[in-house]
Chain A
Amino acid sequence: MLDTTLQPVADQSASQRRPVRPARSTTGQAARRPGPWRRLASPVVVLALWQAACSAGLISPQTLASPWQILQTAISLTRDGTLPHNLLVSLGRALSGLAIGTVAGVALALVAGLSRLGEDAVDALMQMGRTLPVLAMVPLFILWFGIGETPKIALVSLGVLFPIYLNLFKGVRNVDPKLLEMARTLGLSRAQTILQVILPGALPDLLLGLRFAVGISWLMLVVAEQINANSGIGHMMMDAEDFLRTDIILVGLFVYAALGLISDQIVRSIEARVLAWRPSNVR
Protein backbone atom coordinates (compact mmCIF):
# COMPACT_ATOMS: atom_id res chain seq x y z
CA MET A 1 0.00 0.00 0.00
CA LEU A 2 2.63 2.41 1.11
CA ASP A 3 4.70 2.02 -2.03
CA THR A 4 1.85 2.32 -4.48
CA THR A 5 0.43 5.44 -2.90
CA LEU A 6 3.62 7.36 -2.41
CA GLN A 7 5.72 6.34 -5.38
CA PRO A 8 4.08 8.48 -8.07
CA VAL A 9 4.50 11.61 -6.01
CA ALA A 10 8.18 10.89 -5.42
CA ASP A 11 8.71 10.19 -9.12
CA GLN A 12 7.13 13.44 -10.09
CA SER A 13 9.27 15.38 -7.68
CA ALA A 14 12.38 13.94 -9.31
CA SER A 15 11.29 14.50 -12.89
CA GLN A 16 10.22 18.09 -12.29
CA ARG A 17 13.51 19.06 -10.75
CA ARG A 18 14.78 22.36 -12.05
CA PRO A 19 18.03 24.27 -11.73
CA VAL A 20 18.48 26.18 -8.49
CA ARG A 21 16.94 29.63 -8.46
CA PRO A 22 16.00 32.10 -5.74
CA ALA A 23 12.72 30.98 -4.20
CA ARG A 24 11.15 34.40 -4.60
CA SER A 25 12.32 36.56 -7.43
CA THR A 26 11.62 40.20 -6.66
CA THR A 27 12.15 41.25 -10.24
CA GLY A 28 8.93 40.95 -12.20
CA GLN A 29 10.82 39.45 -15.13
CA ALA A 30 9.52 35.90 -15.11
CA ALA A 31 6.28 34.18 -14.24
CA ARG A 32 8.24 30.91 -14.11
CA ARG A 33 8.96 29.87 -10.57
CA PRO A 34 10.81 26.80 -9.39
CA GLY A 35 8.29 23.97 -9.32
CA PRO A 36 6.58 23.37 -5.97
CA TRP A 37 7.52 19.71 -6.27
CA ARG A 38 10.99 19.99 -4.85
CA ARG A 39 9.62 21.71 -1.76
CA LEU A 40 7.22 18.78 -1.34
CA ALA A 41 10.08 16.32 -0.89
CA SER A 42 10.60 16.71 2.86
CA PRO A 43 6.89 16.53 3.82
CA VAL A 44 6.62 13.38 1.71
CA VAL A 45 9.59 11.84 3.52
CA VAL A 46 8.05 12.67 6.90
CA LEU A 47 4.75 11.19 5.78
CA ALA A 48 6.49 8.00 4.62
CA LEU A 49 8.36 7.61 7.94
CA TRP A 50 5.12 8.22 9.83
CA GLN A 51 3.29 5.59 7.82
CA ALA A 52 6.16 3.13 8.21
CA ALA A 53 6.25 3.59 11.98
CA CYS A 54 2.51 2.99 12.24
CA SER A 55 2.53 -0.02 9.91
CA ALA A 56 5.40 -1.57 11.86
CA GLY A 57 3.40 -1.18 15.06
CA LEU A 58 5.84 1.30 16.64
CA ILE A 59 3.03 3.83 17.16
CA SER A 60 -0.33 2.64 18.47
CA PRO A 61 -3.43 4.00 16.68
CA GLN A 62 -4.57 5.48 20.01
CA THR A 63 -1.49 7.70 20.09
CA LEU A 64 -1.37 8.63 16.45
CA ALA A 65 -3.31 7.24 13.53
CA SER A 66 -1.42 6.43 10.35
CA PRO A 67 -1.67 8.77 7.34
CA TRP A 68 -3.45 6.06 5.39
CA GLN A 69 -5.97 5.60 8.19
CA ILE A 70 -6.50 9.36 8.35
CA LEU A 71 -7.16 9.51 4.63
CA GLN A 72 -9.71 6.68 4.87
CA THR A 73 -11.39 8.31 7.85
CA ALA A 74 -11.55 11.60 5.96
CA ILE A 75 -13.21 9.83 3.03
CA SER A 76 -15.77 8.05 5.21
CA LEU A 77 -16.49 11.22 7.21
CA THR A 78 -17.10 13.00 3.92
CA ARG A 79 -19.30 10.18 2.60
CA ASP A 80 -21.56 10.08 5.66
CA GLY A 81 -21.87 13.87 5.66
CA THR A 82 -20.26 14.47 9.06
CA LEU A 83 -17.30 16.40 7.74
CA PRO A 84 -19.14 18.60 5.22
CA HIS A 85 -21.79 19.45 7.81
CA ASN A 86 -19.32 20.41 10.52
CA LEU A 87 -17.12 22.19 8.01
CA LEU A 88 -20.02 24.34 6.85
CA VAL A 89 -20.95 25.18 10.43
CA SER A 90 -17.36 26.19 11.22
CA LEU A 91 -17.03 28.18 8.01
CA GLY A 92 -20.26 29.99 8.75
CA ARG A 93 -19.06 30.98 12.22
CA ALA A 94 -15.66 32.10 10.96
CA LEU A 95 -17.10 34.12 8.11
CA SER A 96 -19.79 35.83 10.19
CA GLY A 97 -17.28 36.64 12.91
CA LEU A 98 -14.79 37.91 10.35
CA ALA A 99 -17.44 40.03 8.67
CA ILE A 100 -18.74 41.57 11.89
CA GLY A 101 -15.26 42.19 13.27
CA THR A 102 -14.02 43.69 10.01
CA VAL A 103 -16.96 46.03 9.59
CA ALA A 104 -16.70 47.19 13.21
CA GLY A 105 -12.91 47.54 13.00
CA VAL A 106 -13.04 49.52 9.77
CA ALA A 107 -15.77 51.79 11.14
CA LEU A 108 -13.91 52.49 14.37
CA ALA A 109 -10.60 53.02 12.58
CA LEU A 110 -12.17 55.53 10.20
CA VAL A 111 -13.83 57.42 13.04
CA ALA A 112 -10.56 57.53 14.98
CA GLY A 113 -8.33 58.08 11.96
CA LEU A 114 -10.25 60.85 10.26
CA SER A 115 -11.06 63.12 13.20
CA ARG A 116 -9.27 64.20 16.34
CA LEU A 117 -12.49 64.00 18.28
CA GLY A 118 -12.99 60.45 17.07
CA GLU A 119 -9.44 59.57 18.03
CA ASP A 120 -9.97 60.85 21.56
CA ALA A 121 -13.23 58.96 21.84
CA VAL A 122 -12.15 55.65 20.36
CA ASP A 123 -8.41 55.16 20.34
CA ALA A 124 -7.73 55.04 24.07
CA LEU A 125 -10.39 52.38 24.55
CA MET A 126 -9.10 50.34 21.67
CA GLN A 127 -5.50 50.56 22.81
CA MET A 128 -6.56 49.33 26.23
CA GLY A 129 -8.81 46.67 24.78
CA ARG A 130 -6.12 45.21 22.59
CA THR A 131 -4.03 44.27 25.62
CA LEU A 132 -6.87 42.05 26.87
CA PRO A 133 -6.30 38.40 26.03
CA VAL A 134 -9.52 37.80 24.12
CA LEU A 135 -9.47 34.06 24.84
CA ALA A 136 -9.61 34.78 28.55
CA MET A 137 -13.04 36.28 28.01
CA VAL A 138 -14.57 32.94 27.07
CA PRO A 139 -16.11 32.33 30.53
CA LEU A 140 -17.63 35.80 30.50
CA PHE A 141 -18.98 35.29 27.00
CA ILE A 142 -20.62 32.02 28.02
CA LEU A 143 -22.25 33.75 30.98
CA TRP A 144 -23.44 36.60 28.78
CA PHE A 145 -24.42 34.80 25.60
CA GLY A 146 -25.04 31.23 26.74
CA ILE A 147 -23.72 28.34 24.70
CA GLY A 148 -25.36 28.98 21.33
CA GLU A 149 -23.81 30.53 18.25
CA THR A 150 -23.56 34.01 19.72
CA PRO A 151 -20.54 33.55 22.02
CA LYS A 152 -18.59 31.79 19.26
CA ILE A 153 -19.24 34.47 16.66
CA ALA A 154 -18.65 37.18 19.27
CA LEU A 155 -15.29 35.66 20.15
CA VAL A 156 -14.20 35.56 16.51
CA SER A 157 -15.45 39.12 15.93
CA LEU A 158 -13.57 40.45 18.92
CA GLY A 159 -10.40 38.68 17.87
CA VAL A 160 -10.70 40.15 14.37
CA LEU A 161 -11.60 43.65 15.52
CA PHE A 162 -8.20 44.63 16.90
CA PRO A 163 -5.84 43.76 14.04
CA ILE A 164 -8.23 45.43 11.60
CA TYR A 165 -8.59 48.54 13.74
CA LEU A 166 -4.92 48.93 14.63
CA ASN A 167 -3.61 48.49 11.09
CA LEU A 168 -6.20 50.64 9.37
CA PHE A 169 -5.87 53.42 11.96
CA LYS A 170 -2.12 53.43 11.46
CA GLY A 171 -2.61 53.40 7.69
CA VAL A 172 -5.00 56.37 7.73
CA ARG A 173 -2.66 58.38 9.92
CA ASN A 174 0.48 57.53 7.99
CA VAL A 175 -0.73 58.64 4.59
CA ASP A 176 2.07 60.69 3.02
CA PRO A 177 1.50 64.33 4.09
CA LYS A 178 3.00 65.45 0.78
CA LEU A 179 0.14 63.78 -1.05
CA LEU A 180 -2.35 65.49 1.26
CA GLU A 181 -0.74 68.85 0.48
CA MET A 182 -0.96 68.06 -3.20
CA ALA A 183 -4.66 67.30 -2.77
CA ARG A 184 -5.10 70.69 -1.12
CA THR A 185 -3.36 72.55 -3.91
CA LEU A 186 -5.60 70.76 -6.42
CA GLY A 187 -8.60 72.00 -4.48
CA LEU A 188 -9.92 68.55 -3.61
CA SER A 189 -12.80 68.56 -1.13
CA ARG A 190 -12.52 66.74 2.18
CA ALA A 191 -14.67 63.88 0.86
CA GLN A 192 -12.61 63.65 -2.33
CA THR A 193 -9.39 63.67 -0.32
CA ILE A 194 -10.66 60.83 1.87
CA LEU A 195 -11.88 58.74 -1.06
CA GLN A 196 -9.02 59.35 -3.49
CA VAL A 197 -6.02 59.85 -1.23
CA ILE A 198 -6.47 58.66 2.35
CA LEU A 199 -8.41 55.42 1.89
CA PRO A 200 -6.39 54.06 -1.04
CA GLY A 201 -3.25 55.05 0.83
CA ALA A 202 -4.37 53.09 3.89
CA LEU A 203 -5.51 50.05 1.91
CA PRO A 204 -2.21 48.15 2.13
CA ASP A 205 -2.38 48.43 5.92
CA LEU A 206 -6.01 47.30 5.96
CA LEU A 207 -5.11 44.23 3.93
CA LEU A 208 -2.22 43.46 6.25
CA GLY A 209 -4.67 43.70 9.15
CA LEU A 210 -7.06 41.42 7.29
CA ARG A 211 -4.38 38.78 6.94
CA PHE A 212 -3.73 38.84 10.68
CA ALA A 213 -7.47 38.84 11.29
CA VAL A 214 -8.08 35.77 9.15
CA GLY A 215 -5.41 33.85 11.05
CA ILE A 216 -6.83 34.95 14.37
CA SER A 217 -10.39 34.07 13.35
CA TRP A 218 -9.45 30.39 12.97
CA LEU A 219 -7.64 30.42 16.29
CA MET A 220 -10.68 31.89 18.02
CA LEU A 221 -12.93 29.39 16.31
CA VAL A 222 -10.85 26.40 17.46
CA VAL A 223 -11.12 27.53 21.06
CA ALA A 224 -14.80 28.41 20.86
CA GLU A 225 -15.73 25.09 19.28
CA GLN A 226 -13.75 22.99 21.68
CA ILE A 227 -15.14 24.51 24.84
CA ASN A 228 -18.77 23.94 24.17
CA ALA A 229 -20.43 23.21 20.90
CA ASN A 230 -22.52 20.49 19.37
CA SER A 231 -21.36 21.03 15.84
CA GLY A 232 -18.33 22.31 13.97
CA ILE A 233 -14.88 20.91 13.30
CA GLY A 234 -13.78 21.59 16.87
CA HIS A 235 -16.78 19.72 18.23
CA MET A 236 -16.07 16.80 15.91
CA MET A 237 -12.55 16.62 17.30
CA MET A 238 -13.64 16.82 20.94
CA ASP A 239 -16.18 14.11 20.31
CA ALA A 240 -13.48 11.90 18.85
CA GLU A 241 -11.38 12.36 21.96
CA ASP A 242 -13.94 10.45 24.00
CA PHE A 243 -13.53 7.44 21.72
CA LEU A 244 -9.74 7.67 21.40
CA ARG A 245 -10.18 8.31 17.66
CA THR A 246 -6.91 10.07 16.89
CA ASP A 247 -7.68 9.62 13.18
CA ILE A 248 -10.71 11.92 13.44
CA ILE A 249 -8.80 14.43 15.54
CA LEU A 250 -6.07 14.54 12.90
CA VAL A 251 -8.61 14.96 10.12
CA GLY A 252 -9.90 18.00 12.04
CA LEU A 253 -6.37 19.35 12.42
CA PHE A 254 -5.68 18.98 8.71
CA VAL A 255 -8.97 20.66 7.88
CA TYR A 256 -8.08 23.61 10.12
CA ALA A 257 -4.63 23.82 8.53
CA ALA A 258 -6.10 23.72 5.04
CA LEU A 259 -8.66 26.40 5.94
CA GLY A 260 -5.90 28.64 7.29
CA LEU A 261 -3.77 28.14 4.22
CA ILE A 262 -6.58 28.69 1.75
CA SER A 263 -7.89 31.80 3.47
CA ASP A 264 -4.39 33.29 3.57
CA GLN A 265 -4.04 32.62 -0.14
CA ILE A 266 -7.36 34.32 -0.78
CA VAL A 267 -6.26 37.47 1.05
CA ARG A 268 -2.96 37.42 -0.82
CA SER A 269 -4.70 37.20 -4.17
CA ILE A 270 -6.99 40.08 -3.17
CA GLU A 271 -3.85 42.02 -2.29
CA ALA A 272 -2.22 41.34 -5.64
CA ARG A 273 -5.37 42.48 -7.40
CA VAL A 274 -6.21 45.56 -5.35
CA LEU A 275 -2.61 46.73 -4.98
CA ALA A 276 -1.87 46.23 -8.67
CA TRP A 277 -0.14 49.62 -8.69
CA ARG A 278 2.73 48.39 -6.54
CA PRO A 279 5.85 47.86 -8.64
CA SER A 280 6.12 44.26 -7.41
CA ASN A 281 2.62 43.56 -8.74
CA VAL A 282 2.98 45.38 -12.05
CA ARG A 283 3.34 43.11 -15.03
Chain B
Amino acid sequence: MNMMHRPEPVIRPEPVIRIEGLTRRFGGPAVLDALDLSVGRGEFVALLGRSGSGKTTLLRTLAGLDDVTEGRVQVPGDVAVVFQESRLLPWKRVWQNVGLGLGARDAKDRAIAALGEVGLDHRVDAWPLTLSGGEAQRAGIARALVREPQFLMLDEPFASLDALTRLKMQAMVGELWQRHRCAVLLVTHDVDEALLLADRAVVLEHGRIRTEVDIDLPRPRRHADAEFNRLRGVLLDALGVEQASH
Protein backbone atom coordinates (compact mmCIF):
# COMPACT_ATOMS: atom_id res chain seq x y z
CA MET B 1 0.00 0.00 0.00
CA ASN B 2 2.95 2.28 0.29
CA MET B 3 3.38 2.32 -3.45
CA MET B 4 2.25 5.37 -5.34
CA HIS B 5 -1.26 4.59 -6.38
CA ARG B 6 -1.73 5.55 -9.99
CA PRO B 7 -4.35 3.87 -12.13
CA GLU B 8 -4.13 3.90 -15.90
CA PRO B 9 -3.01 7.30 -17.17
CA VAL B 10 -5.99 9.54 -17.66
CA ILE B 11 -6.15 12.14 -20.39
CA ARG B 12 -5.98 15.38 -18.47
CA PRO B 13 -7.41 18.66 -19.69
CA GLU B 14 -4.99 21.38 -20.66
CA PRO B 15 -3.52 22.76 -17.42
CA VAL B 16 -4.42 26.25 -16.20
CA ILE B 17 -2.14 26.02 -13.19
CA ARG B 18 1.37 24.81 -13.61
CA ILE B 19 3.80 24.45 -10.72
CA GLU B 20 7.34 23.31 -11.44
CA GLY B 21 10.06 22.75 -8.89
CA LEU B 22 8.45 25.08 -6.35
CA THR B 23 10.58 25.29 -3.21
CA ARG B 24 9.81 27.48 -0.23
CA ARG B 25 11.80 27.84 2.97
CA PHE B 26 11.14 29.98 6.02
CA GLY B 27 14.53 29.65 7.67
CA GLY B 28 14.34 25.95 8.55
CA PRO B 29 13.72 22.90 6.35
CA ALA B 30 11.85 23.40 3.09
CA VAL B 31 8.09 23.80 3.55
CA LEU B 32 7.61 23.11 -0.14
CA ASP B 33 10.28 20.89 -1.65
CA ALA B 34 10.67 20.98 -5.43
CA LEU B 35 6.94 20.53 -5.87
CA ASP B 36 5.45 19.76 -9.28
CA LEU B 37 1.71 19.99 -9.74
CA SER B 38 -0.70 21.05 -12.38
CA VAL B 39 -4.45 21.54 -12.41
CA GLY B 40 -6.39 21.24 -15.63
CA ARG B 41 -9.06 23.56 -16.93
CA GLY B 42 -12.24 22.89 -14.99
CA GLU B 43 -10.57 20.19 -12.90
CA PHE B 44 -11.42 19.77 -9.22
CA VAL B 45 -8.33 18.83 -7.21
CA ALA B 46 -8.33 18.15 -3.49
CA LEU B 47 -5.12 18.86 -1.61
CA LEU B 48 -4.75 16.78 1.52
CA GLY B 49 -2.06 16.70 4.12
CA ARG B 50 -1.45 16.86 7.80
CA SER B 51 -0.83 20.20 9.40
CA GLY B 52 2.63 21.45 8.49
CA SER B 53 2.67 19.54 5.21
CA GLY B 54 2.83 22.75 3.18
CA LYS B 55 -0.81 22.93 2.05
CA THR B 56 -1.36 26.45 3.26
CA THR B 57 1.96 27.72 1.92
CA LEU B 58 1.13 26.29 -1.48
CA LEU B 59 -2.27 27.95 -1.46
CA ARG B 60 -0.83 31.29 -0.36
CA THR B 61 1.73 31.11 -3.13
CA LEU B 62 -0.94 30.39 -5.73
CA ALA B 63 -3.07 33.23 -4.35
CA GLY B 64 -0.14 35.60 -4.78
CA LEU B 65 0.15 36.22 -1.04
CA ASP B 66 3.60 34.60 -0.82
CA ASP B 67 6.36 35.25 -3.32
CA VAL B 68 7.84 32.55 -5.49
CA THR B 69 11.53 32.36 -4.62
CA GLU B 70 12.52 29.04 -6.23
CA GLY B 71 10.73 27.30 -9.05
CA ARG B 72 8.07 28.36 -11.49
CA VAL B 73 4.39 29.00 -10.90
CA GLN B 74 1.93 29.77 -13.62
CA VAL B 75 -1.51 30.90 -12.51
CA PRO B 76 -4.25 32.63 -14.49
CA GLY B 77 -5.00 36.24 -13.69
CA ASP B 78 -8.50 35.63 -12.40
CA VAL B 79 -8.07 33.67 -9.22
CA ALA B 80 -10.49 33.68 -6.31
CA VAL B 81 -9.93 32.43 -2.79
CA VAL B 82 -12.36 31.27 -0.13
CA PHE B 83 -10.65 31.28 3.23
CA GLN B 84 -11.31 29.16 6.26
CA GLU B 85 -12.77 32.20 7.99
CA SER B 86 -15.12 34.06 5.70
CA ARG B 87 -13.09 37.30 5.96
CA LEU B 88 -16.04 39.52 5.22
CA LEU B 89 -15.63 43.23 5.95
CA PRO B 90 -17.85 43.72 8.99
CA TRP B 91 -18.64 47.33 8.04
CA LYS B 92 -20.09 46.47 4.65
CA ARG B 93 -23.41 44.80 4.10
CA VAL B 94 -23.34 41.29 2.70
CA TRP B 95 -24.03 42.30 -0.90
CA GLN B 96 -21.39 45.05 -0.70
CA ASN B 97 -18.86 42.47 0.46
CA VAL B 98 -19.74 40.21 -2.45
CA GLY B 99 -19.53 43.08 -4.93
CA LEU B 100 -16.30 44.42 -3.43
CA GLY B 101 -13.94 45.73 -6.09
CA LEU B 102 -16.19 44.71 -8.98
CA GLY B 103 -16.49 48.34 -10.02
CA ALA B 104 -19.06 47.58 -12.70
CA ARG B 105 -22.33 49.47 -12.73
CA ASP B 106 -24.25 46.23 -12.29
CA ALA B 107 -22.12 45.19 -9.31
CA LYS B 108 -25.12 45.09 -7.00
CA ASP B 109 -27.21 42.97 -9.36
CA ARG B 110 -24.35 40.55 -9.87
CA ALA B 111 -23.71 40.37 -6.14
CA ILE B 112 -27.35 39.65 -5.42
CA ALA B 113 -27.46 37.00 -8.16
CA ALA B 114 -24.36 35.31 -6.69
CA LEU B 115 -25.93 35.41 -3.23
CA GLY B 116 -29.02 33.80 -4.69
CA GLU B 117 -26.88 31.01 -6.09
CA VAL B 118 -25.54 30.17 -2.63
CA GLY B 119 -29.01 30.45 -1.06
CA LEU B 120 -28.47 33.72 0.76
CA ASP B 121 -31.15 35.84 -0.96
CA HIS B 122 -32.71 36.67 2.38
CA ARG B 123 -29.47 37.99 3.91
CA VAL B 124 -28.42 40.36 1.13
CA ASP B 125 -28.67 43.49 3.32
CA ALA B 126 -27.47 41.92 6.57
CA TRP B 127 -24.35 42.98 8.45
CA PRO B 128 -21.73 40.19 8.29
CA LEU B 129 -21.36 39.90 12.07
CA THR B 130 -25.00 38.85 12.29
CA LEU B 131 -24.50 35.86 9.97
CA SER B 132 -24.11 32.30 11.20
CA GLY B 133 -20.88 30.48 10.40
CA GLY B 134 -22.47 28.67 7.46
CA GLU B 135 -24.06 31.84 6.10
CA ALA B 136 -20.80 33.76 6.34
CA GLN B 137 -19.02 31.01 4.44
CA ARG B 138 -21.72 31.03 1.76
CA ALA B 139 -21.21 34.77 1.40
CA GLY B 140 -17.47 34.12 1.04
CA ILE B 141 -18.17 31.62 -1.73
CA ALA B 142 -20.53 34.08 -3.45
CA ARG B 143 -17.78 36.73 -3.29
CA ALA B 144 -15.42 34.32 -5.05
CA LEU B 145 -17.93 33.14 -7.68
CA VAL B 146 -19.23 36.57 -8.65
CA ARG B 147 -15.84 37.18 -10.28
CA GLU B 148 -16.32 34.13 -12.54
CA PRO B 149 -12.76 33.00 -11.80
CA GLN B 150 -10.87 30.54 -13.96
CA PHE B 151 -9.32 29.15 -10.81
CA LEU B 152 -10.98 28.89 -7.40
CA MET B 153 -9.09 28.05 -4.24
CA LEU B 154 -10.87 26.85 -1.11
CA ASP B 155 -8.80 26.80 2.07
CA GLU B 156 -10.49 24.36 4.45
CA PRO B 157 -13.72 26.27 3.92
CA PHE B 158 -15.89 23.99 6.02
CA ALA B 159 -13.48 23.19 8.84
CA SER B 160 -15.21 25.34 11.43
CA LEU B 161 -18.77 24.37 10.54
CA ASP B 162 -20.92 21.83 12.30
CA ALA B 163 -21.31 18.43 10.64
CA LEU B 164 -24.78 18.98 9.17
CA THR B 165 -23.97 22.39 7.76
CA ARG B 166 -20.76 20.97 6.33
CA LEU B 167 -22.64 18.25 4.42
CA LYS B 168 -24.99 20.85 2.92
CA MET B 169 -22.12 23.13 1.98
CA GLN B 170 -20.19 20.29 0.35
CA ALA B 171 -23.18 19.42 -1.78
CA MET B 172 -23.60 23.08 -2.69
CA VAL B 173 -19.96 23.48 -3.71
CA GLY B 174 -20.28 20.37 -5.86
CA GLU B 175 -23.28 21.85 -7.68
CA LEU B 176 -21.69 25.25 -8.08
CA TRP B 177 -18.60 23.68 -9.58
CA GLN B 178 -20.66 21.67 -12.05
CA ARG B 179 -22.36 24.86 -13.12
CA HIS B 180 -19.34 27.16 -13.30
CA ARG B 181 -16.72 24.61 -14.33
CA CYS B 182 -13.76 26.57 -13.02
CA ALA B 183 -10.61 24.77 -11.93
CA VAL B 184 -10.78 24.20 -8.17
CA LEU B 185 -8.12 23.51 -5.58
CA LEU B 186 -9.71 22.44 -2.34
CA VAL B 187 -7.37 22.33 0.65
CA THR B 188 -8.80 20.00 3.26
CA HIS B 189 -7.88 17.38 5.79
CA ASP B 190 -11.21 15.64 5.44
CA VAL B 191 -10.73 12.56 3.25
CA ASP B 192 -14.46 12.07 2.70
CA GLU B 193 -14.81 15.66 1.55
CA ALA B 194 -12.06 15.13 -1.01
CA LEU B 195 -13.68 11.90 -2.25
CA LEU B 196 -17.12 13.48 -2.49
CA LEU B 197 -16.03 16.44 -4.55
CA ALA B 198 -12.71 16.06 -6.33
CA ASP B 199 -11.55 14.56 -9.64
CA ARG B 200 -8.16 14.01 -8.13
CA ALA B 201 -6.73 13.95 -4.62
CA VAL B 202 -3.15 14.94 -3.91
CA VAL B 203 -1.59 14.12 -0.57
CA LEU B 204 1.21 16.43 0.49
CA GLU B 205 3.89 15.44 2.95
CA HIS B 206 6.92 17.49 3.90
CA GLY B 207 6.33 19.76 0.94
CA ARG B 208 6.26 16.95 -1.61
CA ILE B 209 3.50 14.97 -3.22
CA ARG B 210 3.31 11.67 -1.43
CA THR B 211 0.30 10.21 -3.19
CA GLU B 212 -1.87 11.23 -6.07
CA VAL B 213 -5.20 9.50 -6.64
CA ASP B 214 -7.63 9.91 -9.52
CA ILE B 215 -11.16 9.67 -8.22
CA ASP B 216 -13.09 8.27 -11.15
CA LEU B 217 -16.44 7.82 -9.49
CA PRO B 218 -19.84 8.79 -10.89
CA ARG B 219 -21.47 11.80 -9.30
CA PRO B 220 -23.27 12.36 -7.00
CA ARG B 221 -21.08 10.12 -4.91
CA ARG B 222 -22.05 8.03 -1.95
CA HIS B 223 -20.04 7.08 1.08
CA ALA B 224 -21.35 3.51 0.92
CA ASP B 225 -19.75 2.80 -2.46
CA ALA B 226 -17.07 0.06 -2.44
CA GLU B 227 -14.64 2.03 -4.59
CA PHE B 228 -15.23 5.08 -2.36
CA ASN B 229 -14.17 2.99 0.62
CA ARG B 230 -11.12 1.61 -1.14
CA LEU B 231 -9.96 5.10 -2.08
CA ARG B 232 -10.59 6.33 1.44
CA GLY B 233 -8.26 3.57 2.64
CA VAL B 234 -5.61 4.64 0.16
CA LEU B 235 -5.80 8.28 1.21
CA LEU B 236 -5.92 7.60 4.93
CA ASP B 237 -2.93 5.36 4.53
CA ALA B 238 -1.08 8.09 2.69
CA LEU B 239 -1.93 10.46 5.52
CA GLY B 240 -0.43 7.98 7.97
CA VAL B 241 -3.68 7.11 9.72
CA GLU B 242 -3.74 3.62 11.24
CA GLN B 243 -6.85 1.73 10.19
CA ALA B 244 -8.48 -1.28 11.75
CA SER B 245 -8.32 -4.09 9.21
CA HIS B 246 -11.63 -5.68 8.38
State the A residues within 8 Å of B (CB).
178-179, 181-188, 192, 196-197, 200-201, 203, 275-279, 282
Q: B1-9, B29-37, B83-91, B222-230: which lies at the A interface? A: B83-91
**B130 and A201 contact, CB distance less than 8 A:** no
Q: When the two chains form their complex, are residues A282 and B127 in contact, meaning their CB atoms are under 8 A apart? A: yes
Neighbouring A residues of B83 by C-beta, 8 Å: 178, 182
> B129 near A185 (CB under 8 angstroms)?
no
CB atoms of B91 and A203 under 8 A apart: yes
Smallest CB separation, B130 vs chain A (Å): 6
CB distance from B85 to the nearest CB of A (A): 7
Contact flag A179-B64 (CB < 8 Å), given A185-B79, A279-B129, A279-B130: no
Q: Which of B85-125 contact A (CB under 8 A)?
A: 85, 87, 89-92, 100-101
Picked from A178, A185, A277, A279, the residue with its CB within 8 Å of the CB of B85 is A178
With A196-B89, A277-B90, A277-B91 already in contact, the answer to whether A181 and B129 are too (CB < 8 A) is no
8 Å CB contact of A181 from B65, B90, B91, B147:
B65
Contact with A along B144-165 (1 / 0, CB 8 A): 0001000000000000000000
Instruction: Select B129's contact among A184, A186, A197, A277, beta carbons within 8 Å.
Output: A277
Most interface-central of A203, A277, A279, A282 (chain B CB within 10 A):
A277
* 30 cross-chain CB contacts under 8 A: A178-B83, A178-B87, A179-B89, A181-B65, A181-B87, A182-B87, A183-B101, A184-B64, A185-B64, A185-B65, A185-B80, A186-B143, A187-B101, A188-B100, A188-B101, A192-B101, A196-B89, A196-B100, A196-B101, A200-B89, A200-B92, A201-B89, A201-B91, A203-B91, A276-B127, A277-B92, A277-B129, A279-B129, A282-B127, A282-B130
B interface residues, tally (CB under 8 Å): 21
Cβ distance A171 to chain B, nearest Cβ, rounded Å: 13
Per the bound structure, the CA–CA distance linking A185 and B100 in Å amounts to 11
B19 at the interface (CB under 8 A from A): no
CA distance A188 to B89 in the complex (A): 13
Q: Provide the main secondary structure of the chain A interface.
A: helix
Q: Is the CB of A184 within 8 A of B89?
A: no
Q: Which residues of A contact B87 (CB under 8 A)?
A: 178-179, 181-182
A27 to chain B, nearest CB (A): 13
**Residues in chain B near residue A181, CB distance under 8 A:** 65, 87
The answer for the CA separation of A200 and B100 in the assembled complex, in Å, is 14
Query: Does B22 reach chain A (CB closer than 8 Å)?
Result: no
Interface string of B57-95 (1 = CB under 8 A from A): 000000111000000000000011101010101111000
Distance A276 CA – B64 CA, assembled complex (angstroms): 33
In the complex, which of the residues B81, B91, B127 contacts A185, with contact meaning CB atoms closer than 8 Å?
Answer: B81
Known A-B contacts A178-B83, A185-B64; A278 and B89 likewise in contact (beta carbons under 8 Å): no
Question: How many angstroms between the C-alpha atoms of A278 and B91 in the bound complex?
Answer: 8
Contacts of A182 on B, CB cut-off 8 Å?
81, 83, 87
